[in-house]
Amino acid sequence: MQEAPIPSFDGVPAEGGEEGYAGVRRPAHLPGRNRHDRGRHVQGRPRVFRLRLPAVARSEGLRGIARRMSIGGHSPVRSVTRDGDGNSPRRRQHTLQGFSVIGPLDTLLREVRTCRHCAASLPLGPRPVVVARPAARILVIGQAPGTRVHETGIPWNDRSGDRLRDWMALDRHRFYNPDLVALVPMGFCYPGRLPRGGDAPPRPECAPLWHDRILAGLPDIRLTILAGAYAQARYLGPRRARTLTDTVRNWREHAPRVMPLPHPSWRSTGLTRRNPWFETEVLPALRKLVETALDPLSD
């Protein structure tokens, strides 16, 4: 059985037996090997193209680069398609998982990732960690990255994230799909630690500087999860209760569009143990809201 041709990312015909597919040699027997066939469509012999990727892509492999791009929101790779006769190439954006059309939000997030507004106050230096795409249906607003998130560049990539995903009943695959879930913390960079221990609060510059512009690029949000007192203070304002526990207890006042939660750090275990209603009432309601928000039939 003849192997399927490798798709094009730049429209350059592949030569037989050359390196160029992220370090994998294309088998010589694939169609299009003959140099006389380059540049023209041969009946019954589909064109084969060589992937021209940056050096970092060649070193990581296709799966690695797609995974990194789906998390980091880097610019997409372009592909070339042809009409039924194999003529008239036209540019289009790759829309498979891990790639997206470049738009205003992508441009804004590139600006965010180069932000150095409070670099002098960050002990580990700036590394903004934000994930968002216009198609996202759930928005999670947390506090600020911890050291592990700072090191990996992946939001909620720690035990707090494990607990949050358990609360939402989402696996990592769906949680980290930016077309489903946007992850926008109150502070984008690791803020350091307090003198007496514990992480410092989110830097106060981030939310006023970026949030309104990012949220304006998320038109399809069905559910906003406010994880922690800092997010609730900004987005609930006078509607929040005197304590975080009471705000979470009064979740019905804000549902179904907004769901206040404690921040899912280890400190939240005391709150959940002292208040059994969190597991018997809040979590089932949260999971139902998540399921509804992600249901394509809810449009």
Concatenated DSSP letters of 25-72: PPPTTSTT-SGGGTTS-BTTB---B-----HHHHHHHHHHHHHHHHHH
Q: How many angstroms separate the CA atoms of 229 and 83, rounded?
A: 55
Domain positions in the chain are: 1-101, 104-298
Low-confidence ranges of the chain (pLDDT < 70): 1-102, 298-299
Locate 150 and state its tokens: 């700072």
Find tokens 């996202």 and name the residue: 136
Q: Long-range contacts made by residues 268-275, C-beta under 8 angstroms, separation at least 24?
A: 268/163, 271/244, 271/245, 275/245, 275/249
Q: Structurally, what CATH architecture does the domain formed by 104-298 represent?
A: 3-Layer(aba) Sandwich (3.40)
Interacting residues of 86 by C-beta distance below 8 A, sequence separation 6+: 41, 47
Bridge partner residues of 260 (DSSP): 226
240 contact partners, CB below 8 Å, separation of at least 6 = 232, 233, 247, 260
Q: How far apart are CA 8 and CA 49, in angstroms?
A: 5
pLDDT computed for residue 234 by the predictor: 97
Orientation angle between helical segments 159-168 and 283-294, nearest 10 degrees: 80
Distance between CA atoms of 210 and 126, rounded to whole angstroms? 15
Q: In 3D, which of 214, 233, 236, 59 has the Cα closest to residue 129?
A: 214
Q: Hey, CA dihedral for 158, 163, 164, 170, is it positive or negative?
A: positive
Residue-wise over 254-268: b if at least 16 C-beta within 10 A, else e?
bbeebbbbbbbbeeb
pLDDT of 101-110, one tens digit each?
A: 568 999 999 9
For the record, the structure tokens of 102 come out as 């470049």
C-alpha 192 chain-centroid distance:
24
Measured in whole angstroms, the distance separating CA 77 from the mean position of its chain's CA atoms is: 17
